[in-house]
Amino acid sequence: MASTPKDLSRETRKLYQYLVLITSEVSWYLAALDVLIAFPEGAARGQELAILSNGLEYANDQARYFGLGIDHRTDKKRSLSPAEVRKLTRRLAL
């Protein structure tokens, strides 16, 4: 993982770390897609593409929920209490 710049505020550092995580996830999925595209068309390739698509959607939902506070079920930004923010950051251990 890339190192976080030291001159950022604590909240900005957290957001930066989420950004690093999501871009790492996207890079992994793009590399996997490059490999998968080389395979011949067929049901197995379609299933693998569906699995990759679901994984990428899940990673996006996590970034939106934890990094941006957007509930993926409603696309509405949810408000977090300070206690919830502390609990989430401890659980994520970022």
Q: Which of 9, 1, 27 is nearest to 92 (CA)?
A: 1
pTM of the model: 0.56
Burial grade of 39 (CB within 10 A; 0-12, 13-18, 19 or more):
exposed
User: What whole-number percentage of the chain has pLDDT above 90?
Assistant: 0
- Residue 53's pLDDT is what? 85
Helices (DSSP H) in the chain: which residue ranges?
A: 10-37, 43-62, 82-92
- Residue 1's pLDDT is what? 47
Residue 94 pLDDT > 60: no
Torsion, Cα 7 8 13 18, to 10 degrees, reads -100
Place of tokens 């569906």: 50
Integer Cα distance of 17 and 67 in angstroms? 9
Residue 85 pLDDT > 70: no
The lowest-confidence range among 7-11, 33-37, 58-62, 84-88 is: 84-88
Integer Cα distance of 26 and 24 in angstroms? 5
Say which residue, 43 or 76, is predicted with more confidence: 43
- The model's pLDDT over 10-55, given as tens digits with 9 standing for 90+, comes to 777 777 787 888 888 888 888 888 888 888 888 888 888 888 888 8
